Amino acid sequence: MKATILQENLNKSLSFVTKLVSSRTQLPILSNVLLETESGYLKVSTTNLETSMSFWVGASVEETGAITVPAKLLSEIVASFSHEKIILSTDGFNLKLICGDSESTLSGIDAKEFPPLPQTGQQKSIILDKHVLDNGLPFVLISASQDESRPLLTGIKFAAKEEHLEMVATDGYRLSVKELPQIKGMEEGLVISAKAMADVFRLAIEEKAENIALYISKDKNQAVFKLEKAMVATRIIEGEYPVYAKIIPSTFTTKSIFNKEEMIRAVKLASVYAREAANILKFKVTKETITISASSAQIGENKTTISAKTQGEGGEIAFNARFLSDLLNVFPEEDVVFEMNGNLSPGVFHPQKDETYLHIIMPVRIQG
């Protein structure tokens, strides 16, 4: 293999694909990136067996070929090169890189040992409008679990309804539901890795793509997202997703409207104290205010009172401070509607004008 490529282009592609690479894998090949030449392109790929990612980078190809080399080492070397052209060439299972006055070599593994990458073949694609993802994905990603021992909760569920599509995520402590327009061909109950969806979203932004092609392979239980110069493939997560509709309250005893920016400042300040006390902060809701407080035996106490318009009986409730911060940082409007039914029932947050988004945070039981 011999190809010439711009340093900035190779560096950018490696910054994306190396996110899948784990340093703790028991299979050495999974620590490697696959480099293979195609007509006018260098294809850069990684996989962790659950998800794979490929990036096509424009290159001048003199000799075709393929090799795998340690992904993070290659990424570090390329990032350190000057912004010039890089000449890549192979000699057996060694990769040689020349950039300006620098010359490096890396020992690799035969490309034939790299796990097979998915092919879309003749499958029909589902076209995802990137703007639809813009208006939905950031609001539900915050609720997807990071706990790999509960794989279903690490995914985003697409639930087809009569007049719309729901995008749902929950980690058992919070729930996000976003209504989207119907997407033709999208199957009921499809659960796709939240991390993979986030990667697709970032790639779509990078490519300034308007549409993303989604291929569903039932026989291989795989979802493949294809952009012009990138592809992400991930296993469809199987199992019975939690019946999330049951935890959405149908009524409330308290409804309060507050300013998002005021609450962000109050939560940020209370979080300084909350992190010393199991990350818990309290809301005290009255007719015209909400007081946000947190205390720690080691450092003291903080209280901030913000304006609010409240209907109903008011009361006190406690939440995880990080969960509130995550929500407020992506919340789509300046005014937040908060609804509650006492201190042990879920707290409901939604925009005042947009009825298509709902976020629930389970309260924390506290003493006294």
- Tell how far CA 147 is from the center of its chain: 14
- For residue 114, the one-letter residue type is F
Check residue 253 and give its pLDDT.
97
Is residue 29 within 8 Å of residue 20, measured between CB atoms?
no
Residue 37 forms beta bridges with which residues? Answer: 42
Collapsing DSSP to helix, strand or coil, 209 comes out as coil
Is residue 87 within 8 Å of residue 94, measured between CB atoms?
no
What residues contact 253, with CB distance under 8 A and at least 6 apart?
312, 313, 315, 340, 341, 342
Parse the chain into domains and list their residue ranges. Answer: 2-113, 126-246, 248-361
C-alpha 243/C-alpha 245 separation (Å) is 6
C-alpha 69/C-alpha 74 separation (Å) is 7
Check residue 25 and give its pLDDT.
83
Q: Which residues of 260-289 are buried (b: 16+ CB within 10 A; e: fewer)?
A: bebbeebbebbbebbeebebbbbbebeeeb
Is residue 20 within 8 Å of residue 55, measured between CB atoms?
no
- For the record, the structure tokens of 350 come out as 């939604």
Q: In this structure, how many other beta carbons lie within 10 angstroms of the beta carbon of residue 196?
A: 24
Q: Give the sign of the dihedral formed by CA 285, CA 290, CA 291, CA 293.
A: positive
Question: Per CATH, which fold does 2-113 belong to?
Answer: DNA Polymerase III; Chain A, domain 2 (3.10.150)
Q: How far is CA 45 from CA 63, 118, 282, in A?
A: 19, 11, 47
* Of the candidates 332, 365, 333, 362, the residue with the CA atom closest to the CA atom of residue 347: 362
C-alpha 131/C-alpha 140 separation (Å) is 15
2-113 and 248-361 share one fold: yes
- For the record, the structure tokens of 304 come out as 């901030």
Q: What is the mean pLDDT of each run of 10 residues along the chain (368 residues)?
A: 97 95 88 95 96 96 97 97 97 96 96 91 79 88 94 93 90 96 79 94 90 85 93 94 92 97 98 92 97 92 97 96 97 97 96 95 85
Check residue 286 and give its pLDDT.
97
Alpha-carbon Rg for the chain, nearest whole angstrom, is 24
Check residue 122 and give its pLDDT.
63
C-alpha 135/C-alpha 109 separation (Å) is 42
CATH architecture of the domain 248-361 equals Roll (3.10)
Check residue 189 and give its pLDDT.
79
Check residue 133 and give its pLDDT.
83
DSSP 27: S
Check residue 169 and give its pLDDT.
97
Check residue 328 and give its pLDDT.
98
- Homologous superfamily of 126-246: DNA Polymerase III, subunit A, domain 2 (3.10.150.10)
**Long-range contact pairs involving 329-337 (C-beta distance under 8 Å, separation at least 24):** 329/264, 330/138, 330/139, 330/142, 331/260, 332/139, 332/357, 333/260, 334/259, 334/260, 334/261, 335/257, 335/258, 335/259, 335/260, 336/257, 336/258, 336/259, 336/260, 336/263, 337/255, 337/256, 337/257
* Of the candidates 343, 334, 118, the residue with the CA atom closest to the CA atom of residue 235: 118
C-alpha 64/C-alpha 51 separation (Å) is 26
